[in-house]
């Protein structure tokens, strides 16, 4: 056997117990504390220490999710041949009758569009990067650029649900909630899974609670949204007129009465509730501390950009992501909206890059500087890419690009990832993959592996099935992107 710790049956017995014991008694009640590691800290000793399956390389993940589908053609997947093909019809030998969205499937022509932006080689490995990403260009030696990402979905709702939950249909658990469930927390004062949303200036696609939801997993594992403003976590602040001393007095009184009730009824759920009220109280201090950037030196804002001083921006969220990583939040997910360039791609993508490039690169530099990159996975990518052909009229200054799931670019860095590597290749039209395809489930399987989890053995029984994040089609770990 590969791993002495591997014991699938025990794991599933344990999961059976957790998944199906719904009265909340016993182990589930005691471990339902946010901040308790459901699996690894179970009180029954090492019997259930099966996750992680092997020594993890990463302790935490920061996922910079670019909602809407950034154009790989204009950012990373440089195709010099397109200068020649610009304005010419996409050859049928490339398109091969593959399905298109109905936004462009009725178009009479499919003229190829060369990027309107200059590409240059950067770093030791001479990686091509667009002029739109001057800061990312400086960190190319630190990242692994995957040019052969792919997904079957061709529209936003199914695609973004797919990459975040492993299924195009709603109802499944998101990646962050899987990790919260499996690995538990490393911090007793903050949630395991935090989500932050920022909006760009491009075409905004919808997001949905299910993208960070827990699906069939116990709902304490769902992502907690952190927001700018007075209540960084919903309902965090005391009501007006209730000062901290009053709140403390209230909680002390509630606890005394709850303890009496516990003595009377022996219901372990009461013990759990007492702990949860204390955790809520601690969060009232720990979260505002986390969100308050006033203790950041000016150098932080030089690194991330002045935008980072403005709460709610992508740049500010990147600084917060680093602060959360320092405090050992397990899974930190930023959603930045506006990458859906159907009509005015050149103008919109310029704005999107301006909003995100410096802060994304800064986050990597900052993590590295603080020694956090060694055990943090940092991922940048969207739900799909965009077409080489123009959607709508192609003019000298404007064009659009439709959704393209057959290939797109994502980068990943940190914990055990092969830095300075380009993985996979596409044809001259950035239309089909010609080498080393990486399905979105493959990437998710690889992320799990870096966290010490075998994605095939990481299951949860629900409705008679062993559910897993990476689906039933057989995802595989992409060893090529690992050091």
When binding is defined by CB under 8 A, the residue of 323, 336, 403, 404 that contacts other proteins is: 403
DSSP sequence for 39-52: TTT-TTGGGGTTSS
> Which range binds other proteins by CB under 8 A, 73-81, 139-147, 207-215, 301-309?
207-215
Q: Is 397 in the site for other proteins (CB under 8 A)?
A: no
Burial bucket for residue 93 (CB in 10 Å: 0-12, 13-18, 19+): exposed
Q: Terminal CA-to-CA distance of the chain, rounded, Å?
A: 24
Count, residues in the chain = 483
When binding is defined by CB under 8 A, the residue of 154, 372, 451, 481 that contacts other proteins is: 154
DSSP sequence for 72-105: HHHHT---TTHHHHTTSBPPHHHHTT----TTTT
Q: Is 242 in the site for other proteins (CB under 8 A)?
A: yes
- Restricted to residues 284-343, the positions that interact with other proteins (CB under 8 A) are 337, 342-343
For 147, left (φ over 0), alpha (ψ -120 to 50), or beta?
Answer: alpha
Which tokens sit at 83?
Answer: 């200068």
Q: Is 463 in the site for other proteins (CB under 8 A)?
A: yes
Q: Is 40 in the site for other proteins (CB under 8 A)?
A: no
Q: Is 46 in the site for other proteins (CB under 8 A)?
A: no
- Restricted to residues 77-116, the positions that interact with other proteins (CB under 8 A) are 99, 101-104, 106-108
What H or E segment, with its residue span, contains residue 246? helix 244-265
Report yes or no: 343 and 203 within 8 Å, Cβ to Cβ: yes
When binding is defined by CB under 8 A, the residue of 402, 422, 442, 454 that contacts other proteins is: 402
Minimum CB separation from other proteins for residue 27, in Å? Answer: 5
Which tokens sit at 189?
Answer: 């004062």
> Which range binds other proteins by CB under 8 A, 80-88, 121-129, 166-174, 412-420?
166-174
Q: Which one, 64 or 373, has the nearer CB to other proteins?
A: 64
Q: Is 12 in the site for other proteins (CB under 8 A)?
A: yes
When binding is defined by CB under 8 A, the residue of 56, 69, 218, 305 that contacts other proteins is: 218
> Which range binds other proteins by CB under 8 A, 110-118, 228-236, 322-330, 404-412?
228-236
- Number of Cα atoms under 13 Å in the Cβ half of residue 86: 12
Q: How many residues bind other proteins (CB under 8 A)?
A: 111
The 421-460 site mask, x for binding other proteins (CB under 8 A), equals ----------------------------------------
> Which range binds other proteins by CB under 8 A, 5-13, 379-387, 411-419, 439-447?
5-13
User: CA separation (Å) from 211 to 58, 193, 236, 286, 446?
Assistant: 22, 12, 22, 25, 20
DSSP sequence for 184-207: --S-SSS-SEEEEEEE-SSPPPP-
Minimum CB separation from other proteins for residue 230, in Å? Answer: 10
Name the 3-class secondary structure at 468. Answer: coil
When binding is defined by CB under 8 A, the residue of 4, 23, 46, 294 that contacts other proteins is: 23
User: CA separation (Å) from 257 to 102, 247, 267, 281, 332?
Assistant: 62, 16, 14, 18, 37
């Amino acid at each position: 056997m590969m791993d002495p710790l591997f014991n699938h049956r025990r794991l599933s017995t344990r999961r059976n117990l957790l998944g199906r014991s719904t009265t909340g008694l016993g182990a589930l009640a005691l471990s339902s504390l946010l901040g308790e590691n459901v699996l690894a800290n179970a009180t029954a000793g090492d019997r259930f220490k099966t996750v992680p399956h092997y020594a993890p390389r990463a302790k935490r993940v920061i996922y910079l999710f670019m909602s809407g589908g950034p154009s790989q053609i204009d950012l990373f997947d440089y195709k010099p041949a397109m200068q020649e093909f610009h304005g010419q019809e996409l050859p049928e030998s490339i398109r091969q009758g593959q399905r298109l969205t109905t936004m462009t499937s009725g178009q009479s022509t499919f003229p190829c569009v060369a990027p309107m932006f200059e590409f240059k080689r950067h770093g030791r490995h001479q990686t091509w990067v667009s002029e739109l990403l001057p800061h990312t260009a400086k960190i190319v030696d630190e990242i692994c650029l995957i040019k052969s990402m792919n997904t079957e979905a061709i529209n936003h709702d199914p695609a973004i649900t797919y990459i975040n939950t492993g299924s195009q249909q709603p109802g499944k658990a998101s990646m962050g909630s899987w990790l919260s469930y499996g690995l538990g927390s490393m911090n007793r004062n903050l949630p395991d899974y935090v989500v932050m949303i920022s909006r760009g200036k491009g075409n905004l696609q919808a997001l949905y609670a299910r993208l960070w939801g827990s699906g069939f997993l116990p709902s304490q594992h769902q992502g907690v949204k952190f927001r700018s403003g007075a209540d960084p976590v919903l309902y965090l602040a005391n009501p007006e007129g209730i000062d901290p001393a009053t709140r403390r007095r209230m909680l002390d009184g509630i606890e005394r009465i709850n303890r009496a009730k516990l003595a009377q009824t022996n219901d372990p759920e009461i013990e759990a509730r007492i702990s949860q009220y204390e955790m809520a109280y601690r969060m009232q201090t720990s979260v505002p501390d986390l969100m308050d950037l006033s203790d950041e030196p000016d150098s932080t804002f030089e690194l991330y950009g002045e935008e980072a001083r403005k709460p709610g921006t992508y740049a500010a969220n990147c600084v917060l992501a680093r602060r959360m990583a320092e405090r050992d939040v397990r899974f930190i997910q930023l959603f930045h909206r506006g990458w859906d360039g159907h009509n005015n791609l050149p103008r919109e993508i310029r704005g999107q890059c301006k909003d995100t490039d410096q802060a994304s690169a800064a986050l990597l530099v900052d993590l590295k500087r603080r020694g956090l990159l060694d055990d943090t996975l940092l991922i940048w990518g969207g739900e799909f890419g965009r077409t080489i052909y123009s959607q709508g009229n192609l003019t000298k200054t404007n064009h659009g690009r439709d959704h393209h799931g057959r290939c797109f670019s994502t980068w990943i860095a940190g914990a055990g990832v092969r830095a300075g590597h380009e993985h996979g290749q596409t044809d001259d039209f950035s239309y089909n993959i010609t080498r080393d395809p990486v399905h979105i489930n493959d990437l998710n399987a690889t992320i799990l592996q870096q966290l010490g989890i075998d994605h095939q053995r990481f299951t949860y029984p629900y409705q008679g099935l062993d559910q897993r994040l990476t689906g039933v089609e057989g995802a595989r770990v992409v060893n090529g992107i690992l050091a």
